[in-house]
């Protein structure tokens, strides 16, 4: 078999069968040469939702139910969405317990507490309105 030769017009530093954009291969164990940096194995496999700083800045790794319950609990002072905040908070707690990799328990509990307080306020307002209507007032 004849030796491989470079086709005309190919620079001499290009090896036959190796694309010109190939990266250099790391040296074999014990061979002299460059030492390449290898990041720790956990850095490539870390989930963004597991980083506390990212969870503080962005709603990553949180249960969607917990986010919804938190926002509804926040606006439950208007009393109308309070029962929905209560229900979504309970659903969020169940979801987080089923999926331990998700976060957001604080938002879920906030939704439950604010939803319960808002629901009590809504019930008291409805009771007062019904009582006043039966007496001929309001």
Q: What is the pTM of this model?
A: 0.58
Query: Given pLDDT bands bounded at 50, 70 and 90, which one contains residue 28?
Result: low
Q: Which of these, 45, 33, 35, 91, lies nearest to 67 by C-alpha position? A: 91
Structure tokens at 51: 């980083």
Distance CA 58, CA 67 (A): 11
Q: What angle do CA 56, 60, 63 make, to 5 degrees?
A: 105
pLDDT tens-digit map of 73-114: 889 888 888 999 999 999 999 999 999 888 899 999 999 999
Structure tokens at 70: 């938190």
């Amino acid at each position: 078999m004849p030796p491989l030769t470079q086709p005309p017009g190919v620079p001499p530093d290009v090896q036959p069968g190796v694309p010109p954009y190939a990266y250099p291969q790391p040296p074999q164990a014990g061979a002299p040469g460059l030492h390449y940096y290898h990041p720790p194995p956990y850095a490539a496999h870390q989930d963004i939702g597991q980083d506390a700083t990212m969870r503080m800045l962005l709603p990553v790794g949180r249960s969607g139910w917990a986010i919804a319950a938190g926002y509804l609990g926040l606006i439950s002072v208007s009393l109308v969405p309070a029962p929905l905040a209560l229900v979504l908070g309970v659903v969020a707690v169940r979801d987080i317990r089923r999926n331990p990799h998700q976060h957001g328990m604080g938002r879920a509990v906030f939704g439950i507490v604010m939803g319960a307080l808002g629901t009590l306020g809504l019930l008291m307002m409805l009771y007062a309105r019904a009582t006043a209507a039966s007496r001929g007032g309001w």
